[in-house]
């Protein structure tokens, strides 16, 4: 069989294009903000991870411009060789201090961050215990490692303990427990207190993916560990710059010896070009703003609570129960792929953009529309979105023809 046969046989995306409900790659002709120009139309943005609204902040943009003027557009090499600038080192020191750990290492992308951490610190005879709903970068990091990976049911602490006991009894290697802090599709917070208790009981180490938690949780926006008061008990915390920090890249913080080891052994880090100057400067300026203006975090929590309550009052909208009211990710349950595609299209045509989520990110007929919020959304924008969402869902409520089955 020709290697490309699978490509020629792949039709789902083209099917949805032909039906006029293709949900991806919508083109923007403006910057990321609470309102955007999407395919020529004013659109309320409720599908972005721009949690603190800093991608359009003049201070962040100016920092990026100045960095390009001083350092150029790129580093032309890896951090390991010629690609380490003074601003890389300064950002690492600032992140370590902010997240209250000894040391920090920054990476060119968030995905690369998890690949590097997991593949470097786990090896043969080690175990990785991973929440079943962890991000794809964690999944691929476990595949890159030679360790044995065991998944536990989402936030199921009984199963986690059972697996920890089995690994500890084997005793041949170390154990790493990995979990998202905030799960990006569900808006749920991990059960960190139990993860910490069980990991300490069985001698495991903890890696916390706080990509959707920094700037979202905690009094100062330091993330899940601060939210629970467990910063000292979490071994490694990773973060991405493409959400709260309004840039591109990622980082990990932890003990100096562990960061030193990752820096010298992680192949995805060693063999990748370093994060460009503009992205470093933008992330650092966004961090300064987060530290100076923690009220942005409180505003974001208030918006999340307001929208969760408002959406719950809409008669034809089913809101996923995340177990909290402060995370600015609120999934709306839509069920079938067809209903999800049509609802997303109708919302966009009425001026609201949200993220449609399909299998394998969710199981079977449990599709959803992921709505996410930004600290700079105005009350007027929020209420306009509530009105549009309510109207669209009501208009489609009795339409059974849209519950069609199609692979995405």
Tens digits of residue pLDDT in 241-268: 999 999 999 999 999 999 999 999 999 9
Contacts 24+ apart (CB under 8 A), 353-357: 353/26, 353/36, 353/38, 353/43, 353/44, 353/45, 353/46, 353/47, 354/46, 354/47, 355/47, 356/23, 357/185, 357/331
How far is 12 from 17, CA to CA, in rounded Å?
9
Residue 408: pLDDT band by 50, 70, 90 thresholds? confident
Residue 171: pLDDT band by 50, 70, 90 thresholds? confident
CATH of the domain at 94: 3.40.640.10
Mean pLDDT of all residues in 306-332: 97
Write down the catalytic residue from 108, 184, 242, 272: 184
Percent of the chain with pLDDT over 90: 95
Judged against a pLDDT cut of 90, whether residue 126 lies above it is answered with yes
Tokens for 84, please give them: 């380490």
How far is 352 from 208, CA to CA, in rounded Å?
32
Specify whether 104 is located in the same domain as 190.
yes
Residue 362: pLDDT band by 50, 70, 90 thresholds? confident
Please indicate whether residue 212 is annotated as part of the active site: yes
Please indicate whether residue 137 is annotated as part of the active site: no
CA atoms within 13 A on the CB side of 311: 26
Specify whether 181 is located in the same domain as 268.
yes
Write down the catalytic residue from 88, 101, 212, 284: 212
Tell me the per-residue pLDDT of 367-384, one tens digit each, with 9 for 90 and over: 999 999 999 999 999 999
Residue 172 is predicted with a pLDDT of 87
36 sits in which H/E element: strand 35-38
Specify whether 46 is located in the same domain as 107.
no
Specify whether 73 is located in the same domain as 216.
yes
How far is 131 from 138, CA to CA, in rounded Å?
10
Judged against a pLDDT cut of 90, whether residue 60 lies above it is answered with yes
Specify whether 273 is located in the same domain as 325.
no
CATH of the domain at 351: 3.90.1150.10
User: To the nearest whole number, what is the mean pLDDT of the chain?
Assistant: 97
Please indicate whether residue 56 is annotated as part of the active site: no
Judged against a pLDDT cut of 80, whether residue 361 lies above it is answered with yes
Tell me the per-residue pLDDT of 194-225, one tens digit each, with 9 for 90 and over: 999 999 999 999 999 999 999 999 999 999 99
Judged against a pLDDT cut of 90, whether residue 282 lies above it is answered with yes
How far is 230 from 196, CA to CA, in rounded Å?
8
Specify whether 279 is located in the same domain as 305.
no
Residue 303 is predicted with a pLDDT of 98
Tokens for 316, please give them: 């034809």
Residue 365 is predicted with a pLDDT of 86
Give the residue numbers spanning the domain of 46. 5-55+294-402
Write down the catalytic residue from 88, 101, 135, 243: 243
Nearest CA-CA partner of 143 in 178, 121, 118: 118
């Amino acid at each position: 069989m020709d290697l490309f046969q699978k490509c020629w046989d792949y039709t789902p995306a083209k099917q949805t294009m032909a039906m006029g409900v293709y949900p991806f790659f919508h083109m923007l002709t403006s910057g990321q903000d609470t309102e955007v120009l999407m395919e020529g139309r004013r659109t309320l943005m409720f599908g972005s991870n721009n949690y603190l609204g800093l991608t359009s902040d003049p201070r962040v943009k100016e920092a990026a411009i100045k960095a390009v003027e001083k350092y150029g557009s790129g580093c032309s090499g890896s951090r390991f060789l010629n690609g380490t600038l003074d601003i890389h080192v300064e950002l690492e020191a600032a992140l370590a201090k902010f997240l209250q750990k000894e040391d920090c290492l920054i990476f060119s992308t968030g995905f690369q961050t998890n690949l590097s951490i997991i593949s470097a610190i786990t090896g043969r005879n080690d175990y990785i215990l991973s929440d079943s709903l962890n991000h794809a970068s964690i999944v691929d990091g476990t595949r890159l490692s030679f360790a044995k990976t065991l998944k536990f049911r989402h936030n199921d602490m009984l199963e986690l303990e059972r697996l920890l006991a089995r690994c500890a009894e084997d005793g041949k290697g170390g154990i790493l427990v990995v979990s998202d802090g905030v799960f990006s599709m569900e808006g749920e917070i991990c059960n960190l207190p139990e993860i910490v208790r069980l990991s300490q009981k069985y001698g495991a180490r903890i890696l916390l993916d706080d990509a959707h938690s920094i700037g979202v949780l905690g009094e100062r926006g330091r993330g899940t560990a601060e939210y629970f008061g467990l910063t000292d008990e979490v071994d490694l915390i990773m973060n991405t710059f493409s959400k709260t920090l309004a840039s591109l890249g990622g980082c990990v913080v932890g003990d100096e010896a562990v960061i030193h080891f990752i820096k010298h052994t992680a192949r995805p880090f060693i063999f990748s070009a370093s994060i460009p100057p503009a992205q470093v400067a933008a992330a650092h300026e966004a961090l300064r703003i987060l530290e100076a203006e923690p009220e942005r975090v409180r505003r974001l929590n208030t918006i999340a609570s307001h929208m969760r309550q408002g959406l719950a009052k809409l008669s034809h909208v089913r809101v996923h129960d995340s177990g909290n009211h402060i995370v600015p990710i609120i999934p709306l349950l839509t069920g079938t792929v067809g209903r999800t595609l049509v609802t997303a299209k109708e919302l966009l045509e009425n001026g609201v953009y949200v993220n449609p989520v399909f299998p394998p990110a969710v199981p079977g007929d449990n599709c959803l529309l992921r709505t996410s919020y930004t600290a700079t959304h105005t009350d007027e924008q929020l209420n306009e979105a509530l009105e549009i969402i309510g109207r669209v869902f009501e208009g489609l409520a009795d339409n059974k023809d849209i519950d069609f089955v199609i692979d995405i």
